[in-house]
Amino acid sequence: METISLSHRQRATLVAAGLGFVVVLLDVSVVNVALETLRVSFDTDVAGLQWVVNAYTLVFAALLLTSGALGDRMGAKRVFTAGFAVFTLASLACGLAPGLALLVVSRVVQGMGAALLVPSSLMLLQQAFPNPAQRSRAVGWWGAAGGIALAAGPVLGGLLIAHVGWRGIFLINLPIGALGLALTLCYAPTAAAKPSRGLDLPGQLAAMLALASLTAALTEASQLGWFHPLVCGGVAISLISATAFYWLERHSKEPMLPLSLFRSTTFSIATAVGVVVNFAYYGLVFVFSLFFQAVQQLSPQQTGLAFLPMTAILMVMNIVAGRLVTRLGARALMVAGLALASFGYLLLLLQVDADRAYLTLVLPMLLAASGIAVVVPTMTNATLSAVDAAHAGIASGVLNSARQIGGMLGVAVCGFFVRDTEPGIFLHGMHVSLALAVVLLSAGGILSYFGLKKPNLADTTAQHG
């Protein structure tokens, strides 16, 4: 086998890109173990906690597509550097926030930085590693760094809260950001900018308004009720904005979201499953974070450790699924993964109780996480295989945006069901959340079974014969 050696500049660029992905995913997972601590510190309710989580995810999801175009227009290095600077300064603001309102605003700015970091980090790797074999390995290490961050987030968060306080979960980003910025400025390649690349600002504004108003309506419904004028108004604004977004994208010369992509049944199903999977996963993490701390009275450190088996299995099964997808095909793995996840959530629904021992929940949590981990790389592979190579970047961006939107909706909807932390009422809402996840995952499996094409046996034999 040919040995692939990397230059010092390539290694430094890879570390910088990996650190950018690490801080983004770290702040997705690390905050969950601080929920109960934040609730007590700021004397807030579940709706306030939802805003701490969703303010970040909302902006991250809404800006992902445009930030990719911005990287083309201004150059990946410049956008990546700006993203790291914004994210690091926002992390400082989060760590110093004297009240909940400023913390939420700082999380919004963090989401902006995250959206600038992710697409441009991949662009940097594409520029730094022109050799396809080198680039494939680099992207693999980049993904592994993100997986480690996602798995380590709850444990690291628990340790920081126990020994430093909740502010530590944000301030830990400062040394990472400083190192990432230094490596980027010194070693990352500088590619020519493309100032003619369009940004589709009207479409971006319509998308953000649709997502923000829907998130606000779902979050505030837990306090105000579904028929409150502000909640109804938020839903109405979301529908109007979504309609405007569809019209703009259909008539734009350079749309942020080319609607022609959805002519592919595989792409449409993969995108829908992306929403469902993240809805179930992030909804589960939000609910169980509160369950472990508010109901079972575990410490943040114990809560972080409680999530470790589930997040660790995500990394392992991601690697397994990546190797199986070319052998078994997307249809078989998507259906199997969704069925396994649905079964895991069903077992949790049947077993979870205020006095239930943690060890009895480990196997169902592992099954749920394993199923989701099988689906994620499979639907990514299916998405990229279903579109023309020229649209691979935008297709990947759409899928990632759909997943973030699913996670945001999962926190908002499940947060509504568990809005009362009184154990009896909370557990009822928890059961409703788990039942909804079972239904959605099962529907995704049925959709995948009937909508995705079965792989041609001759093609599979030719690939592996």
CA 379 to CA 271: how far, in whole Å?
Answer: 8
> Is 438 strand, coil or helix?
helix
How large is the average pLDDT for residues 292-305?
84
Q: Which of 304, 441, 301, 417 is nearest to 367 (CA)?
A: 441
Please state, in angstroms and rounded to a whole number, the distance separating the CA atoms of residues 37 and 161: 8
Binning pLDDT at 50, 70 and 90, where does residue 110 land? very high
pTM for the full predicted model: 0.79
CA–CA dist 453, 162 (Å, integer): 50
d(Cα 176, Cα 16) in Å, to the nearest integer?
Answer: 10
Strands (E) across 326-404 are located at: none
Whole-number percent of the chain with pLDDT over 70: 90
pLDDT at 58 over 50: yes
What Cα–Cα distance (Å) separates residue 292 from each residue in 32, 169, 183, 302, 364?
Answer: 11, 19, 39, 9, 15
CB distance 213 to 39 below 8 Å: no
Query: CA 435, CA 425: separation in Å to the nearest integer?
Result: 16
State the pLDDT at residue 393. 61
Q: Which residue has the higher pLDDT, 280 or 57?
A: 280
Average pLDDT value for residue range 394-405? 79
Better pLDDT: 387 or 168: 168
| The residue type at 333 | L
Axis crossing angle, helix 173-187 with helix 8-29, rounded to the nearest 10: 150
Spatial separation of the C-alpha atoms in residues 86 and 112, rounded to whole Å? 8
Lowest mean pLDDT among 337-346, 402-411, 433-442: 402-411
As to burial, measured by CB atoms within 10 angstroms (0-12 exposed, 13-18 middle, 19+ buried), residue 58 is: buried
Separate counts of helices (H) and strands (E) for the chain? 17, 0
Q: Is the dihedral of CA 275, 276, 279, 285 positive or negative?
A: negative
Averaged pLDDT for residues 58-71: 77
What is the reported pLDDT for 345?
A: 94
Q: Phi and psi of 3, rounded to 5°?
A: -80, 130
Return the HEC string of 214-278: HHHHHHHHHHHCCCCHHHHHHHHHHHHHHHHHHHHHHHCCCCCCCHHHHHCHHHHHHHHHHHHHH
**Any idea of the CA torsion for 14, 16, 21, 23, to the nearest 10 degrees?**
150
Interatomic CA distance for residues 360 and 265, integer angstroms? 40
- Mean pLDDT over residues 219-224, rounded? 77
- pLDDT at 416 (0 to 100): 84
pLDDT at 70 over 80: no
Provide the pLDDT confidence category of residue 133 given band limits of 50, 70 and 90.
confident
Q: How many whole angstroms separate alpha carbon 160 and alpha carbon 175?
A: 15
Q: What is the pLDDT of residue 391?
A: 65
Once rounded to an integer, what is the mean pLDDT over residues 11-23? Answer: 90
The pLDDT of residue 103: 95
Average pLDDT over residues 379-408: 75
